[in-house]
Structure 1
Amino acid sequence: MVVATVCAAQSAGVACRRRQIASAAGRRPQRVFAVATGPTSRQAAPAQPPPAAAPAPATQPAEAQATRPFRIPRSLEEVDNGQILGFSADLSEDHPGFHDPVYKQRRVDICNLARTHRIGQPIPRIDYSPEEVDVWRTVMTELQQLFPQHACKEFLRCWPMFGFSPDEVPQLEDLSAVLTRATGFQIRPVAGLLRPRDFLNGLAFRTFHSTQYMRHHSSPRYTPEPDVVHELIGHVPMLADPAYADLVHQIGIASLTADEKQIWHLTKVYWYTVEFGVVREGGGVKAFGAGVLSSFGELQHMAAGRAELVPLDVAAPLPRMSYKDGYQQRYFVLDSFEEGAAHLKAYCRTLHQHLPDDVRVAVGLL
């Protein structure tokens, strides 16, 4: 999702191009996971993307260094998807839809459907308006022109499985059924950004939390939050690839017993792979991260070779997650998807050792 997707408090957050709403606890949430990555077209963006509000801290926040009590969920039913830290129905003053009461009410209605959904029930179907379909069409049409040259082979193989059409916004229930047949993953609707631990815990039970609302029609190529475009175009096709789905599953399992320091590191691992991962392929560099695949501008930026390419060492400290320079100025690249995924999964398995047997059964380790 939404991330697919997740927030953290101000001291643990990621700076965005636009100010985000304050959490119920009075702290300013910063996006961590399901990032929609700014303008999707160079024509809609200024020459240089606007700077972030404030850079994220380069190191783990002090409050995360202390061990906090946490409860290991035994099933998906015990994974809380109700603690929304941002980008739900409430919008900040600089959100494109803040002054549009019709759009704001639309967000309220869609978010309420997610809040009342129960596991096992069909995901509510959204009757997207012609205006919302136009937004979907604009973004999808632009991205499809770039995918053949700049998306990884796993994405290109899985993309046709979903029958995406520029004239119809897909329904989560339909895509979830395709994913379940392909890799055992399913989609669960969510009203906004989840806490990192809750979002990652869901992956352990092969569940991807996804929003259903659409970005504002006045800015189809930009959204300050994860929306249905980012979730479905960026995340869902890759989750249909067995090797990729297994990697994401292992990250989720690792989060179940992770302490606060480990959760913070896993958050960065997720950011630099699932959101902004790139891989060497066919003599070039291809995108497999959702934050790149769902952004017209980020794909162009990556393809132009403007960012530094650094080998990923998953066990080493990773830099802060920030939009200080607009598009990513550094990508952590895998020499091959297979080799990189193997290293990532090996690291994640080092955190599985304290899982109770009943949880191991529930997540498929036994």
Structure 2
Amino acid sequence: MFEEGQLYSAVTTQDDGTVTVHLADNHPGLHDEAYLARRGEIAAAALAHEPGGPVPVVQYTDDEHGIWRTVCAELAPKHERYAHPEFLRGKEALGLPAERVPQLSEVTALLAPLTGWSYTCAPGLVPLRDFYGRLGRRVFSSTQYLRHGSQPLYTPEPDIIHEVVGHGNQLASPRFAAVTEAAGAATARLETDEAVKFVADVFWFSMEFGVMADGPDLKAYGAGILSSYGEMDEFGSMEIRPLDLVDMGTLNYDITAYQPVLFRAASVDELEDVVGSFFATVDDDLAARLRAQAPASV
């Protein structure tokens, strides 16, 4: 199951005010002092951000714009091939720039007229209840840094490409945006951490790594798949199961590898009926009952 803190590098503030980002051992930027300093600079700006205030502007470098440009160019044809039409409609409506990294305030300006969502900044990890609580208010907490330039098509952690290209285009669909909002609103009703994690795991296997039928074809709508160059080539060969809330909320998985098990919605209607309705009605008792139905080996 999802464990809070798995997805993001730890961020600490030293006694002298210096912000340090602690990258994982498999991170391609681990020994790049310039990259580490840049990550600390961007994280510091997010840490200093006052809630409700203007989102910090990051002056992206030519190299950072180049990473964004490269990834967008490589993802575009894969989206046309692998993305569900509902995601593609959102992408077309949003119209993100492909040649440069947008500021989060720009993403908000594009997104708000479509679905009422906005973006705020995060240095990295946002506590689970805070992250989902903001989703319930139609606010997406996004990192602002970019992946290391040595491997532009790979990142071991969510960066602004994942947060904006993956989730931003998804949130431009009113239907996907409503399911995401319902997941966030659910946490306000939940008292136990176990119930919150159950919701987060169902979210993982739907809005992050969900697949969906498109006639006879299997397409992706999850932000984790559609922001990953490699994952788009692999998802069709994974074990595909029908939507199952017990399975989705309790299945063990490794976030550092391609997801070997994915859950297929027959349509957006089914996603709304099964996952959206669950988010809209779940309470601690329901989450506990569903968890108790999981096989011991899950």
Number of corresponding residues: 276
Could you tell me which of 211, 216, 223 is aligned with 2:143?
A: 211
Distance of aligned partners of 1:348 and 1:192 in 2 relative to their CA distance in 1, 3 Å threshold:
same
Q: Which residue in the other structure is 1:261 paired with?
A: 194
| Pairing 1:301–2:234 present | yes
| Pairing 1:8–2:23 present | no
Q: Which residue in the other structure is 2:57 paired with?
A: 125
Counterparts of residues 52-131 of structure 1 (less than 5 Å): 89-131=21-63
**Alignment partners' CA distance in 2, 1:21 and 1:311:** 33
Could you tell me which of 314, 317, 323 is aligned with 2:245?
A: 314
Q: Does the CA contact (< 8 Å) of 1:7 and 1:194 recur in 2?
A: no
Percent identical residues: 36
**Alignment partners' CA distance in 2, 1:285 and 1:343:** 18
**Alignment partners' CA distance in 2, 1:251 and 1:206:** 11
Distance of aligned partners of 1:147 and 1:276 in 2 relative to their CA distance in 1, 3 Å threshold:
same
Could you tell me which runs of 5 or more consecutive residues in structure 2 were left unpaired when the two chains were aligned.
Answer: 13-19, 286-298
Q: Does the CA contact (< 8 Å) of 2:94 and 2:111 recur in 1?
A: no
SS in 2 for 1:8: coil
Could you tell me which runs of 5 or more consecutive residues in structure 1 were left unpaired when the two chains were aligned.
Answer: 1-5, 15-19, 25-87, 355-366
Task: Tell me the amino acid that sits aligned with residue 134 of structure 1.
Answer: G
Q: Which moved more, 1:159-168 or 1:243-252?
A: 159-168
| Pairing 1:154–2:150 present | no
Could you tell me which of 257, 267, 275 is aligned with 1:336?
A: 267
Q: Which residue in the other structure is 1:75 paired with?
A: none
SS in 2 for 1:89: strand
Could you tell me which of 172, 186, 208 is aligned with 1:275?
A: 208
SS in 1 for 2:237: coil
SS in 1 for 2:233: helix
Q: Which residue in the other structure is 1:134 paired with?
A: 66
**Alignment partners' CA distance in 2, 1:165 and 1:177:** 13
Structure-1-length-normalised TM-score: 0.70
Structure-2-length-normalised TM-score: 0.85
**Alignment partners' CA distance in 1, 2:260 and 2:109:** 37
Task: Tell me the amino acid that sits aligned with residue 199 of structure 2.
Answer: L
**Alignment partners' CA distance in 1, 2:143 and 2:240:** 31
**Alignment partners' CA distance in 1, 2:174 and 2:246:** 24
Could you tell me which of 200, 216, 223 is aligned with 1:290?
A: 223
**Alignment partners' CA distance in 2, 1:236 and 1:287:** 15
Q: How big is the shift at 1:21?
A: 5.7
Q: How big is the shift at 1:122?
A: 2.3
SS in 2 for 1:193: coil
Q: Which residue in the other structure is 1:359 paired with?
A: none
Distance of aligned partners of 1:181 and 1:23 in 2 relative to their CA distance in 1, 3 Å threshold:
closer
Which has the larger share of helix? 2
